Amino acid sequence: MIDIHTHILPGVDDGARDLAESLAMARQAVADGLTHLFATPHHRDYTSLSRLEVSQRVAQLQVELDKSGIPLTLLPGHEVRLYDDMFDDWANDLAGPLGESRYVLAEPLFHHYDKRTDAMLFELFDRGYLPIMAHPERIRPIQDNLALIEPFLARGGLTQITATSLTGNGDWRGKQTAETMLRNGMVHIIASDAHHSYHRTPTLAAARDAAAVIVGQEQAAAMVSARPLVIVNNEPVTVTPVFI
């Protein structure tokens, strides 16, 4: 399995506090069956790292994993917050795609989604990128009205739901929205959005199995394996636009 959304880099944002916790998270990931993991620090609100700095820190952490005998491959990325001035950060290399791919992990604001949000997502398309919307099931306006993301889906956008939205984390609205999205074919990828070794851990197997109850084992497996592998390899993905 491959996790495209984690905060495993130590001392960068609200994720791993130090190297020890990063290593603990990596061990959890391997024990759960993961082989690859993207480190995707928030591009705003915490330590702002350039794409080069993220790559350097990923390489440093990879050395520590290898020294510790943890068979996990790390890849660099950003969780790109959709602020109004996001493209200014993009121009300064403070935000960017996953690895060397054309896929962008894009995070809407938790309490706001409007035409400007769509405009930023569509500009990513126009620039030749393919945005992956991070955890839409946890975005309050989307919880209230799934039709908000119809234009994004119609354009061929991808969605990534959080593993714990399916396995239970006390957020009943997030769980309900995630399950509705699965039933309507609106989910393409499941990722952990892991922050710690004790809460929202880098594990996917339980969420994959929960999704399989709704969409079947083949589709659920694709959400944690085949489609994330497409991103690692920067290959095209074909999705069917969804309308609800």
Convert the pLDDT of each residue in 64-104 to its tens digit: 999 999 999 999 999 999 998 999 999 999 999 999 999 99
Find residue 163's DSSP bridge partners.
none
Which of 41-45, 56-60, 113-117, 198-202 is modeled with the greatest confidence? Answer: 56-60
As a whole number of angstroms, the distance between CA 88 and CA 95 comes to 9
What integer is the mean pLDDT of 32-48? 93
Maximum alpha-carbon separation in the chain: 49
- The better pLDDT of the pair 36, 240 is held by 36
State how far the Cα of 193 lies from the Cα of 202, in Å rounded to an integer.
7
* CATH code for the domain defined by 2-232: 3.20.20.140
The full set of domain ranges for the chain reads 2-232
Judged against a pLDDT cut of 90, whether residue 151 lies above it is answered with yes
Q: Can you give the pTM of this predicted structure?
A: 0.95
- Give the pLDDT of residue 171: 84
Q: Are 95 and 85 in contact (CB under 8 A)?
A: no
